[in-house]
């Protein structure tokens, strides 16, 4: 018997308390509903690489679910001036984003010829329709009413998106924190129409600049700002890797959902979620 197998057998024999009878107990697989998760990869073409395509997107959606869980809770924390838990959650969001970015590296192992073998099986289905990605954009303040029409097929999803469309986002919560700290923030920004994409305000710019010029006095707000910059930075890196992976696999073809594909993905790279936090790098 090989030494490694022998050592493993010996180690297992020494673990006298390992449970082996689960007739009356919950198993690991049951806790995680693995039977449902692992039976959800249904290839429509039968092509080998379609499994890769499905799993990459399913894993990304699971990570996005966790991002939303953390972002929503962070917004609540900031609204209560409970900053430390918000910092922890926003730092976690950044780590999750790094995982999603690495997923594109795996997907890029698929060649254009391989993708063409099953692309038609997708019909009009596309990552462009990811409602969780839209919820993340909404939570970060990037909103479009026109996009809501895509989700009318599912009333529950459509309702959730409509609520998020009208709700304050992460930056709105941060601006509220600036106001509560005593900065003379434009009152029109407090309880504003959150369906309007925020485009910047001189009172917010002045407040953040003062925070960065007196870090010791405004340490919590400074940390909050840097955590938000991390989130936006990682999101833009995710968008860039998405764009380059799409270009690598389908070039400049239209997406299956009807978007311009790489053209659309390049366009959204120009949007900034927290404009004053980037501008002050120049003005400081």
Cα–Cα distance, 13 to 168 (Å, whole number): 57
Q: Which residues of 52-84 are buried (b: 16+ CB within 10 A; e: fewer)?
A: bbbebeeebeebbeebbebbbebbebbbeeebe
The one-character DSSP state at 128 is G
Backbone angles phi, psi at 126, to 5 degrees: -155, 150
Find, among 33, 54, 60, the residue nearest to 239 by Cα.
60
CA angle in degrees (0–180, nearest 5) for 98-102-107: 150
CB contact at 8 A, 40 and 58: yes
Does the annotation flag 256 for ligand binding?
Answer: yes
Find, among 270, 283, 142, 140, the residue nearest to 205 by Cα.
283
Tokens 């340490």 correspond to 219
Does the annotation flag 53 for ligand binding?
Answer: yes
Does the annotation flag 56 for ligand binding?
Answer: yes
Does the annotation flag 67 for ligand binding?
Answer: no
Does the annotation flag 273 for ligand binding?
Answer: no
The one-character DSSP state at 192 is -
CB atoms near residue 138 (< 10 Å):
25
Does the annotation flag 175 for ligand binding?
Answer: no
Does the annotation flag 213 for ligand binding?
Answer: no
CB contact at 8 A, 256 and 119: yes
Helix (H) or strand (E) holding 216: none
Give, to the nearest 10 degrees, the angle between helix 202-213 and helix 170-180: 70
Handedness of CA 61, 237, 68, 146 (dihedral sign): negative
Does the annotation flag 192 for ligand binding?
Answer: no
Does the annotation flag 23 for ligand binding?
Answer: no
Binding residue numbers for heme: 242
Binding residue numbers: 53-57, 115, 119, 242, 256
Binding residue numbers for substrate: 53-57, 115, 119, 256
């Amino acid at each position: 018997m090989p030494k490694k197998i022998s050592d493993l057998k010996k180690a297992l024999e020494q673990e006298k308390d390992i449970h082996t009878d689960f007739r009356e107990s919950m198993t690991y697989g049951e806790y995680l509903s693995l039977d449902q998760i692992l039976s959800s990869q249904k290839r429509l073409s039968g092509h080998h690489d379609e499994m890769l395509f499905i799993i990459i997107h399913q894993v990304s959606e699971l990570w996005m679910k966790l991002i939303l869980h953390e972002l929503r809770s962070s917004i609540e924390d900031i609204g209560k001036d409970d900053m430390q838990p918000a910092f922890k959650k926003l730092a976690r969001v950044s780590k999750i984003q790094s995982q999603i970015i690495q997923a594109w590296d795996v997907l890029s192992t698929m060649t254009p010829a391989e993708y063409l073998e099953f692309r038609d099986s997708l019909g009009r289905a596309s990552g462009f329709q990811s409602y969780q990605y839209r919820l993340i954009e909404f939570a970060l303040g990037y909103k479009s009413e026109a996009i809501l029409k895509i989700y009318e097929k599912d009333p529950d999803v459509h309702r959730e998106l409509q609520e998020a469309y009208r709700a304050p986002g992460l930056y709105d919560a941060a601006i509220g924190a600036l106001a509560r700290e005593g900065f003379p923030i434009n009152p029109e920004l407090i309880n504003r129409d959150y369906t309007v994409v925020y485009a910047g305000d001189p009172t917010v710019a002045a407040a953040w600049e003062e925070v960065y010029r007196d870090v010791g006095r405004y340490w919590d707000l400074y940390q909050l700002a840097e955590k938000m910059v991390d989130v936006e930075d990682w999101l833009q890196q995710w968008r860039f890797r998405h764009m380059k992976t799409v270009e690598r696999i389908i070039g400049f073809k239209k997406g299956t959902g009807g978007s311009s594909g790489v053209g659309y993905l390049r366009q959204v790279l120009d949007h900034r979620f927290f404009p004053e936090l980037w501008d002050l790098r120049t003005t400081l």
